[in-house]
Amino acid sequence: MSESESGSFHEMREPRIEKVVVHMGVGEGGRELANAEEILEEIVGQEAVRTTATRAATQFGSRVGDPVGAKVTLRGEEAREFLETALSIADLSERQFDDTGNFSFGVEEHTEFPSQEYDPQIGIYGLDVTVNLVRPGYRVKKRDKASSSIPQSHRLTPEDAIAFLEDAFDVEVDKA
């Protein structure tokens, strides 16, 4: 029986949330982007950072460096609190998980969050949420001095990530 089947993890193998990135892409600057930033800040309670185009897209009229969206990175308790709200809105599937246990999902309408109401002057915006899960000890891969790779046996699997979410956040992940 594996850890994901038993539902309990050893303390050094217990997955944890490294970060949660909430992103809104609007494709252009101006009032639309300002609205998106305001909505994002209201939802997550943290200041948004503008994202810029990395490539020119002439069909959309954007050039390299043009502002096209906004994002917020959450860590620690803020990330956990946001996920508790966002996961109750989202439908998760096994296909949304990558090989290392990270996952992404979208929320089609910002008005689904409890603190938001529809305003005809603003409209409706969707947002993307990306969650990065790690195990204790993953810092050895990222540190400057004496970095080393994570052994295959300690890497987070999609099954372990799903078991962690179902246990910690009481959500159901659909089987593909």
C-alpha gyration radius of the chain: 18
Phi, psi of 146 (to 5 degrees): 55, 45
The answer to whether the Cα torsion of 136, 49, 46, 30 is positive or negative is: negative
- CA 65 to CA 52: how far, in whole Å? 5
pTM: 0.85
What are the pLDDT digits (tens) for 110-144? 888 888 888 888 888 889 999 999 998 777 777 78
Quick one: which of 103, 129, 121, 120 has its CA closest to 43? Answer: 129
1, 19, 123, 142, 167 from 77: Cα distances, Å: 31, 10, 30, 22, 17
What are the pLDDT digits (tens) for 43-68? 999 999 999 888 887 777 778 888 88
Provide the pairing of β-strand 127-134 with 16-25: antiparallel
